[in-house]
Structure 1
Amino acid sequence: MRILIASSIAPEAIDRLRTQHDVVCAFNAPEEKLKALVADREMLICRSGVTISAAVMASAPQLQLIIRAGSGTDNIDMDYVRQHGIRLERIPEPGAKAVAELAFAMMLGLARHLLQADRLLRQGHFAKHELSGYLLRGKVLGIVGAGNIGSLTGEMAAAWGMKVLGCVAHPSAAVAAALAQKGVQLATFEEVVANADFLSLHVPLTPATRHLINANVLAAMKPGSYLINMARGGVVEEQALYAALLAGTTLRGAGLDVHQNEKEGQVSPLAALPNVILTPHVGAQTIDSQREIGERIVAIVAAQRPQPEQRPPVRPAPSPARFGSSPLRASRPLGTLAGAGVCFGPIKCFAF
């Protein structure tokens, strides 16, 4: 098959693909370059750092399959994918383990002031008493989006001795039972926000979740709590978070692996605050997870059968009635997103 690899994946996976296929690599290329390179490709492989727009896919009349080496699809024009019969394969599981572990590392780092302790000791300050922190054991972890990654994070926290609350988009008895097996108690969005000592975000970025965590939600959080964002930068209203951290009324600190602006050379305003841990969207970036993702990619490609040169004709998008009132439901697996579609006090309502 003719393959365009638009994001960096495990080198050994690229080498294996090249033994059997026509492979072109262009990591995180701009749209115009992607349009030129994808023109004769049958398959496209990408991660989160590149935008696969309708214009890019329209330039590839033979494109039959997109492999998303991870979970989120906010960088892919899913309307175009559905309407033109392009198959999409996601590989969420390997990265989920890595993201969950980094979320836990964020909690530990914030609770025990690890970055401050390291910095002060390097400066010659043995500030033992000033760096007293908090135990995780016995604290409440709130999971906004208790799906694949969120529930795994909750399972780790329960094993650590934390109480775990989680909310999902479509709560049910079956979902509650599945979460309970991982030590996660199903709750509403408002309950999770109000009771969490650590509020961890694991939702996709959609119109419904953009700025889900705004000034009103931050004000409703438990005093002395921490916010962890492992979802997407746009889920949190960054200016509101900055103000809340500066005020210190409710938030004691925050850990963010994802950011409003993830371009090279950009510095987040949050970097000026001492009670924040920032990492450059490396949640899934472990050697182990990337190796496993590479192996999955090779297996998916190997399983492909020869297809006609042209993909199926354009088909209409799914009817909104089939998924509920919003056509956005069609772009997400049911039961994996956050939020209970509720509002409390002045907090922004959302339903998806």
Structure 2
Amino acid sequence: MSPLTTTIILSSLATGTIITASSHHWMLAWIGLEMNTLAIIPIIAKQHHPRATEAATKYFLTQAAASALILFSSSLNAWKTGTWDITQMTNQAANTLLTSALAMKLGLVPMHFWLPEVLQGSTMKTALIISTWQKLAPMTLIYLTMNNLSTTILLLMGTLSATLGGWAGLNQTQARKILAYSSITHLGWMVMVATTLTNIMTLTLTMYLFMTTSMFSTLILSKSKTIQDTTTSWTTSPMLTIMTALTLLSLGGLPPLSGFLPKWLILEELITQSLTPLAIIIAISTLLSLFFYLRLTYTTTLTASPNTAQTKHKWRFKPHASSLILSSTIPMTIMTLPITPLILN
């Protein structure tokens, strides 16, 4: 892909999200989502490989269906109430349709089937974009319409996503699929807390973006695509191996690390709102996710694959890839917990 084409596509990707995030009219929000979808399709399909073409087709069909539902729900609301304002979604049927459409956009259970398949068919960098940047526009719409969306449906989808994301991830050996199910789990936590406190949802989304970006960056630097590949990452860079392990433990939500912060606040809020059974279910489901994070941590740091005398010195050679993104996101991924009082105030 030529530099000019890449620039145009990435600019469209960014512009689409910004238009959706800053719009008050449903048509503008829909246009932003369409720009976003159409810009990511060539990025997914640029490998000219059957898996990439399949992933691009699945992504396009799913997102097109979700966009059509958003347009239909906003038109229905405008027909009943006479307004196209995003914050004035007062029609019950339109709200239910919109909740389903946004869940499909994000990849929440039961509309999650496309996400692991699309990530597996994409490159690591494309998977990073789909897991992070592509979540911003739908999450913004959830933030804006939260007062009107169906709370029951969101709580149900959130609980199912948190549970099934951990359960389905247990059986995976591909790093991209593991991170896809990790994404589904985190999004489940986000939509659950969105029903009561949107500021905690924003904090959780921010932490998720930092942690996922760090994880993908470490996998890109170490050229790891499966669990087996991570066993040789220590020969590339011992420091990178330590950072990978800490990022994985942070994704799992272990207390000294940043990933514990959003889980702690969400559980506290759910218990405050008398949703203790749901809090218990998602807390237990986190143990499932923690299992496959710990398995990756084990293979990365504690497993020595068969090697020769030369491979022990592989880490002395300078890696070609830029580590700027990794070095800027790792501190937030690991060391945010001590400044929790400042964030909450």
* Greater fraction of residues in strand: 1
* Both proteins in one fold, TM over 0.5: no
TM value normalised by structure 2? 0.24
TM value normalised by structure 1? 0.23
* Greater fraction of residues in helix: 2
